[in-house]
Chains A and B, each alone.
Chain A
Amino acid sequence: MDGLFSIVPLIILAPFTGVLINVFFGRKLMPRRDSVAPGVIASSMAGFSFLIAVLMFFALLANPAGAEVPVLTWINVGDGDFTLHIPWTLKVDTLSSVMMLVVTGVGTLIHIYAIGYMHGDIDEKAASRGLEGEEALDFKRRRYARFFAFFNLFLGSMLVLVTANNYLMMFVGWELVGLCSYLLIGFWFDSPEKNEAGQIIGVLNSSAGRKAFVVNRVGDFGMLLAIMLIFWSFGTLEFDDVFARAECMIEAPQAECLTLSAAELAPQGEGEAAAEEHGEGEARALTTPIALGPFAPTLGVVVTAITLLLLLGATGKSAQIPLFVWLPDAMAGPTPVSALIHAATMVTAGIYMITRSNVLYAMAPVSGMVVAVIGGATAFVAASIAVAQFDIKRVLAYSTISQLGFMIAAVGLGGYIAGIFHLATHAFFKALLFLGSGSVIHGMEHGHHHAHGQGEHHDAPHGEDERPFDPQDMRQMGGLRKHMPVTTWVYIIGALALAGIPPLAGFWSKDEILLDASLNSTLVYILLTVAAFFTAFYMGRQVFMVFYGSERTEAARHAQESPPVMTIPLIVLAGLSVVGGLINLPVGGLHPLGRWLEESVANAHIASFNILVATISTVLALVAIGLSYLLYGRKPLEEGEADPLYSTGPVFTFLNRKWYWDELYAAIFVRPYNRLGDFLANAVDWQFWHDFVHDRIIADAFQGWAAILSRPIDLGIVDGAVNGVAQLVESTSRSLRRVQTGYVRNYALAVLMGVVAILAYLAIRFLV
């Protein structure tokens, strides 16, 4: 079976092939407006990847140790003391296989769904721009092909990330994913961004993509520093070697461990060593000095620094405090993009990375605690914000942040299995909810067009309230149960799974996290439990607001069920959301996922089911749903009626404004930065460089020299040599005069240039 591992590069190759096909031939593959070829190609590539992932799964069943499949040598420099050898080698082990399955499996379903969704979306955008006939077709050709090219690229990038066997390659995937998110969030870069009231605020969608990219770069910076520190301390970037050397350094001096490689250690049984290590991890004082330039901090300090920097990276990609602000704005992208980002790719990267680095985190209990507290706080804050949102996708976005907080908290507390378990189940039901919300939006838009197509309300404001039509505003929905039965039912399943109602998938995974938290940190446990309560409440609120009660707008009255290409993936995902818990059912010591991950996650531990924790969370979830029924279900919102939560006054505003987090960042970072930028642009660039250096020095001098140089050619032939030289000198003189501009600062600049020239010469003379 081992030979089977060697086909793993295909899992990355397939999506990238899809990218190439769609980039070069995508447009030609669309002869008619209803052509779906680019989508089919992209989906089949994703499906092929999924197939490979399944094959890898079977190969691992036979040989759980997995394999490393070299593809090529990327960087190989240096000799002697300093060597940098970065191969591109794909790592197949149980952990990466779980990630591969989730990424490709859920990814494929989202791809299929997008085939239908993007048709409608692009048509709608084309109509709103007044494009018709050939223009509209051309627009669609370009956008449709581009979308699936990006989509495949996204999937492939994520696979690069999860199959990397070293930190640098992981970072490559990490960055590629960031790039794709930028491209896809800003997919409608030329459409105006709307605020929550649906007003155009004059900025293009591209600013959301930019925000995601910039915020992610902050985290990437931490990640990069961590990578440098790892290399500096351990002399390698390959996961297994890093971990082996780190553990070696606990006992032995740094120098002795630097040549160690995991392959040599393997016979001794890494698992045992690791298990033993975990047992006394916190008791052990990591005092081995690590040589870092002029400093020699202890191993403990270095590992803590590394893990905290990695955490900064994770807070960026996995949208944790303080870097979560990009994720809600990422809703500007088309709904399948949201689903792909939130469920299958990108945001899970942080959890995966921390799980992958579990050996390091086990050595740095402080970092672990920080991770857990950040996760718990994020779970709580985001869940509370989600309670007060009206945009159907924004609720889900904050829900994602909150659920990621659960996972981060879990891995921070050492519950790696719980974290990955939740990652998988969450992928199922969050993809379901997002695609479901997409279906709702699709239906609403359809209804809107239908209502207006009949010309009844052409000039009248839509509905009675003055809000412009916004297909994502839950206040404009209601009663969709009657119009979109399939969507309704799958959505309710997803909501219940997210709320943690047994026996749906979410219950099992969330319960395991809560169990880990209850054992390790009361603070985190309380934060997570409250967050779980909020979760159930906002999902209840959403379901009642969207699907129950009466229709609050014409659009809702005319909403239509989505086509099967969209509903079938929903049904599949709903099925997974129901039975997903089975992969790690804690009954009777089964824990299949736990056993599976133990093979590759050294510090994995299997938590036994605790009936008390499970009961508390279930009861709280039911109470929360009951509460939401009392507020939204028993007496549904009518047209124009305000949300009952408004009665809480400032609390609601505070939550609705997302704890003023964006405003805070604007005040602390964005505005000072803009001001600095303005200063640099106006004072330095424009006034100094442009007006001063450019106009007065460079331009004048250039013209002067041009005159000097052009003169001999003009004159040398016409006049005699002597005369020519004389005139040359004279014209040179006239040109050089222009450098003398009369401006003091210009003169000072000349002095400074002289200084720089002299110092540069001295530097070259003495230092080089």
Chain B
Amino acid sequence: MSSIPVEGVGRAREGGAGGMLRHAVWMLRENPLTAVAASGAMALCLIALLAPWLAPYDPLASNVERALQPPSARHWAGTDQLGRDLLSRIIAATRLDLAIALSAVSLSFVVGAVIGAACGYAGGPLDRSVGRFVDVLMAFPLFVLAMAMVAALGNRVENIVIATALINLPFYIRFARAEVNVRRNAGWVEAARAGGESHLAIVLRYLLPNILPAMAVQISLNLGWAILNAAGLSFIGLGVRPPTPEWGILVAEGARFITTGKWWLVAFPGLALMMTVLCFNLLGDGLRDILDPRMRT
């Protein structure tokens, strides 16, 4: 009997961050897949950071005598047509692929959150014109749009980042707009307004921090998609150029040898792509369960 009020008090006191942390620990224990995905994502970041020390060989050093060898104890993932060690090239590519995806997603997150929040808060003509712009973007098949952007801006890595950021932008704008729009007349926003806060301060200090957790989920889910897009672009010959190691290019180079049975040239870079995307997707699903239990599926 006496335990009931005590427990109630405990809950009330811990509230915010503590409750969230406990919920997160509980969720991780309930859903070990999220824990695995989180450690996988951390491992990927470590590989990206330590790539030059982890790779067993120089990713650019060719050795024609050892060309097109299947996986062996010496070359775990085999060698390519110039005798370069495939495993070293895959490890070296991690940094570039993650860097492209991370910068593209952060770019569209920052720009999208600010524009979307402004539209959701201000409404009116700004909201309508941005809405039209988003409609136009969404009227394209997005990969085709990214393709055209890279082609027009020039075949460089920065432009892959810009193109990937642009096709992600509509989702962030819509998301931030909707989240801010439902809160703009909430009691605590009215209170801030009555307290004499400027509109800018209300958006930046009150509304944006409030929608951040929900957007974090979006970021993780988008990272996987951004990696697939960037790899797809370099696969068709846009953006990153050989001999720079990048997963999409590694697959494109291996594609020429698939009909003669050199499977490892496609399978291992493909596996790296798949595992990375899987990690970020599972992490995103897990984050959503932790941060927003209502949206659980």
Are chains A and B native binding partners rather than an unrelated pairing?
Answer: no
Task: Report which A residues bind B (CB closer than 8 A).
Answer: none
